[in-house]
Amino acid sequence: MLYTLTVETSAQTELIDITPRVQEVVQQSGLTDGLAYIFVPHTTAAVTINENADPSVKSDILMVLNKLISPQEPYRHLEGNSPAHIKSSLVGALETVFIDAGRLVLGTWQGIFFCEFDGPRRRQCKVKLVAG
Ligand code: ZN
């Protein structure tokens, strides 16, 4: 079972909570127990799990990533978006979440975030569900 979510981003760097959309995919599938793999098929975007209660956490993550990966380095990649490629590799393209009784197993404060590092763009996020 492989599903594709379309994610419309609206800023150059942005974290978007996709937890409800992934949960909806799980519900529509009818799968009650297994794994959800959330994969981002892009080289300048990523996926991560972090706090979705206080939106300041999202902006703090972006603030520090933007500080750590300076746009001022002598990058050689001609497209000019090397900081976005580096952030994508650091954060990663894949998360795995358990499914129990038809629900994603996440901590109280956890959410799944699509991470845009070179937007705004129309993006995809793949969700693979595996029974077990
Ligand atoms: Zn590039």
pLDDT band at 51 (very low <50, low <70, confident <90, very high): very high
- The pTM (predicted TM-score) of the whole model is 0.97
Number of domains the chain is built from: 1
Tell me the C-alpha distance between 61 and 36, whole Å: 24
Task: For residue 128, name the pLDDT band (cuts at 50, 70, 90).
Answer: very high
126: which DSSP letter? E
Residue 89: other Cβ atoms inside 10 A: 11
CA of 44 to the centre of ligand 1 (A): 7
- Mean pLDDT across the stretch 111-119? 98
pLDDT of residue 37: 98
Pairing type for strands 14-17 and 110-116 reads antiparallel
Cα 117 to middle of ligand 1, angstroms: 11
74 Cα to the center of ligand 1, angstroms: 14
Whole-number average pLDDT of the chain: 97
Residue 82 Cα, ligand 1 centroid: separation in angstroms? 6
Cα of 121 vs centre of ligand 1, distance in Å, is 14
Distance 128 CA to ligand 1 centre (A): 26
Q: How far is the CA of 7 from the centre of ligand 1 (A)?
A: 19
At 67 the three-state DSSP class reads helix
- Contact residues for 5 (Cβ-Cβ < 8 A; gap 6+): 18, 21, 22, 25, 124, 125, 126, 127
Residue numbers of the domain that contains 84:
2-131
Helices (H) and strands (E) in the chain, counts: 3, 8
Q: How far is the CA of 37 from the centre of ligand 1 (A)?
A: 25
**CA atoms of 103 and 85, how far apart (whole Å):** 32
Mean pLDDT for 17-21 is 98
28 falls in which pLDDT band (50, 70, 90)?
Answer: very high
pLDDT of residue 12: 97
Cβ atoms of 47 and 93 within 8 Å: the answer is: yes
Report how far residue 19's alpha carbon sits from residue 112's, in angstroms, rounded to the nearest whole number: 5
CATH code assigned at 56: 2.60.120.460
